[in-house]
Amino acid sequence: MKFDLHSHTNCSDGELTPEELVLRADNKAIDVLAITDHDTISAIEPALAAIEKHKLNLKLVEGVEISTSWHGFEIHIVGLNINSQDSQLCHRLEQQLATRALRAEKIAHKLEKLGFENCFDTVKNMAQGKSISRVHFAKYLLREGHVSHIQQAFDKYLARRAKAYVAPMWISIEEAVDWIHQAGGTAVLAHPTRYDMTNKWVRKLIQAFKQFGGDAIEASLPRQNKNELMQLVNYANQAELKVSQGSDFHRVSPYTELGRTLDLPQGCQPVWQDWH
Ligand code: AMP
Ligand code: MN
Ligand code: MN
Ligand code: MN
């Protein structure tokens, strides 16, 4: 069975529609795909409809990737197997989208002070009322010729400590774990090694996540060496957490692909072990 438990659509900062994403997953021989858009579950319904329409032999895991703040870091908590019909969760995610809109306004204000015009309206149009992201700003800066590639937009303007960075205003990790549990899901710490923090902080984060009631950490990530995988598996075992794997697919590119190089070694507990 091939699992990919972390992916995005154009309902947040991904580029494929929900239908295109499930067709691609099927084409890549994925058996179980989780769609985990940033702070929104609006891709789930169209994705399920597309699976039905094309009679795909693909199991969709209803997911979400929730933004949280922890010691000034922006930490992503993935919820797997949540009930996307849960009205409390839907209401809570609406709040997160409102926080995103407010943050976008603040980022736009900073960029406008730096001389970039009409930034907010343009970015708002790009997001089309969906989950608005720094990626939209990066694309705007690229399109207007202010940067020469997306990474430069993050480095110069959007990343932590960059010129138009806005300090996180997200909920706590603990709240996100509660939201996920109350919607029937499993809480997974996303990409623990991708927060630009030292190893000491990574270990501290994993311990805190366990204390907050978290269930699993992502151990198998894209563009990863074997040492990192084994280290994350060890951290999970030490903290008695399960492990997950996901491509964090956003767009078709030579660097990322659904299901690519995802595998967990022996001696760990995959998060799907007790799924039916
Ligand atoms: P946001 O959810 O608005 O905070 O934006 C975070 C998203 O931006 C991540 O999910 C990535 O897709 C993307 N991202 C974050 N940092 C970078 C970076 N340094 N370069 C390119 N993309 C990034
Ligand atoms: Mn993203
Ligand atoms: Mn993430
Ligand atoms: Mn992601």
Q: How far is the CA of 102 from the centre of ligand 2 (A)?
A: 18
Q: Give the C-alpha distances (Å, rounded to integers) separating 250 from 9, 16, 21, 121, 266.
A: 7, 8, 10, 24, 28
Instruction: Give dist(CA 165, CA 108) in Å, integer.
Output: 10
* Ligand 1 neighbour 151 (Cβ under 6 A): yes
What tens digit of pLDDT does each residue of 145-167 get?
999 999 999 999 999 999 999 99
What tens digit of pLDDT does each residue of 93-107 get?
999 999 999 999 999
Residue 129 amino acid letter: G
Q: Which residues pair with 245 in a beta bridge?
A: 220
* Ligand 1 neighbour 62 (Cβ under 6 A): no
**CATH tag for 94-158 (out of 1.10.150.650, 2.90.10.10, 3.40.50.170, 1.10.10.10):** 1.10.150.650
Ligand closest to CA 97:
1
Q: What pLDDT, on a 0 to 100 scale, did the predictor assign at position 7?
A: 98
Atom 13 of ligand 1, residue of closest alpha carbon = 135
Atom 2 of ligand 1, residue of closest alpha carbon = 133
Q: How far is the CA of 124 from the centre of ligand 3 (A)?
A: 21
Q: Is 148 exposed, middle or buried (0-12, 13-18, 19+ CB in 10 A)?
A: exposed
Q: Is 142 exposed, middle or buried (0-12, 13-18, 19+ CB in 10 A)?
A: middle
Q: What pLDDT, on a 0 to 100 scale, did the predictor assign at position 262?
A: 79
Which CATH architecture is the domain 3-86+169-245 placed in?
A: Alpha-Beta Barrel (3.20)
Q: What pLDDT, on a 0 to 100 scale, did the predictor assign at position 276?
A: 80
Ligand closest to CA 132:
1
Decide: 52 and 22 in contact? Cβ < 8 Å.
Answer: no
Pick from 10, 44, 247: nearest CA to 132: 10
In ligand 1, which atom is closest to the CA atom of 151?
20
- The reply to whether the predicted model has a pTM over 0.95 is yes
Ligand closest to CA 5:
4
Q: What pLDDT, on a 0 to 100 scale, did the predictor assign at position 32?
A: 98
Instruction: Give dist(CA 249, CA 105) in Å, integer.
Output: 27
So where are the chain's domains?
3-86+169-245, 94-158
Q: What pLDDT, on a 0 to 100 scale, did the predictor assign at position 261?
A: 76
Instruction: Give dist(CA 146, CA 49) in Å, integer.
Output: 40
- Which residue positions in the chain have pLDDT lower than 70? none
Pick from 100, 82, 98, 107: nearest CA to 163: 107
